[in-house]
Amino acid sequence: MQDQFVSRDKIQMPRVCVVVPVKNRLKETLRFLESFSKCSYPNFTIVIVDDKSSDGSPEVIKKERPETIILKGNGNLWWTGATNLGIKYAKRNDYEYILTINNDATVGPDLLTKLVDCSKKNPNSIIGSSIINAENNKIWGIGTTINWGAFKEQIFSLNFHGKPYSKIVKNIPNPYPVETLPGNGVLIPVRVFDKIGLYDSFWFPHYHADSEIGLRAKRVGIRSLICTNAKVYNHDFKKRLFDKDFDLLIKKKSYLYWKPIFAIFMKYAPKEHKNKFVRQYFFLYEDKKWYLLYKDIVRKIKNLFSK
């Protein structure tokens, strides 16, 4: 009788493809899969997109979690390319929703149920989760707010970062409207990608592709909302990736990598902020290397956006 009940449930509930980009970090991936194995939602598939891990991730995952689908990348997909590969798989196999999530996260059993329920009640929306710091149980971020005047720091600031979760959620609506949202624990109807396209892997190979797609969706009337009682626990507490400020500008795995920052400003920033940004961004540290790179990048950006 239980099997029949689950079968009927699966027919009635939308199919969700959980897309997880992976490159090494096998321990974190197995922890994530263990937490998701307790998921109470009856109709989902986990798709691991492994981008040439060197720690045996695909083999171990397939052995320990044989129900998991594993797609293999070319070693240079980064977050955006890997996520797009998973989305293409979901589209080919007629899933109704994509959940983008990171392998260093853990989730509660009711995450998908709450996100899907919120999406049904709020059609034409992208639904994000409250991201909680797993170390101290405080808020890591409930969506993000854009600060177009920020140059040296991130232009996307995490809402309520470091605040007590229980206190904040009592005083904000559920769902909570946001300007953009991180891609960790985000439920997106497949029809959204049909309407606006996939994540932009050229300008946003690793950072800010999640924020950009929310801004792109907004232009066609698709909202970004946070289901505040759907929680994803963030376990990524890395120290600063790069010691040199210049590396923050030129490394893809940096939140200040020049390509996504420039593209965000050129595509979405108010005009008065674009000019100020171009003048200031590359002179933060008064280094000649910034100036040389600045000249080349500005030329490329102007050529691209003048077409």
Residues 6+ apart with CB under 8 A from 105: 32, 184, 185, 232, 233, 234, 235
According to the model, what pLDDT value does residue 1 have?
33
Span 109-126, pLDDT tens digits = 999 999 999 999 999 999
State how far the Cα of 109 lies from the Cα of 37, in Å rounded to an integer: 8
Q: With contact defined as beta carbons under 8 Å apart, do 157 and 182 qualify? A: no
- Of 108-122, 175-189, 195-209, 247-261, where does mean pLDDT reach its minimum? 247-261
The DSSP bridge partners found for residue 72 are 50
Residue 262: pLDDT band (50, 70, 90) is confident
- Of 18-32, 157-171, 260-274, where does mean pLDDT reach its minimum? 260-274
Q: What is the mean pLDDT of residues 274-293?
A: 57
Task: Please give the helix or strand (H or E) that residue 119 lies within, else none.
Answer: helix 111-121
Residue 7: pLDDT band (50, 70, 90) is very low
Residues 6+ apart with CB under 8 A from 211: 144, 156, 180, 181, 182, 264
Residues 6+ apart with CB under 8 A from 146: 155, 156, 157, 179, 180
According to the model, what pLDDT value does residue 148 have?
83
- Of 110-114, 187-191, 276-280, where does mean pLDDT reach its minimum? 276-280
State how far the Cα of 36 lies from the Cα of 241, in Å rounded to an integer: 28
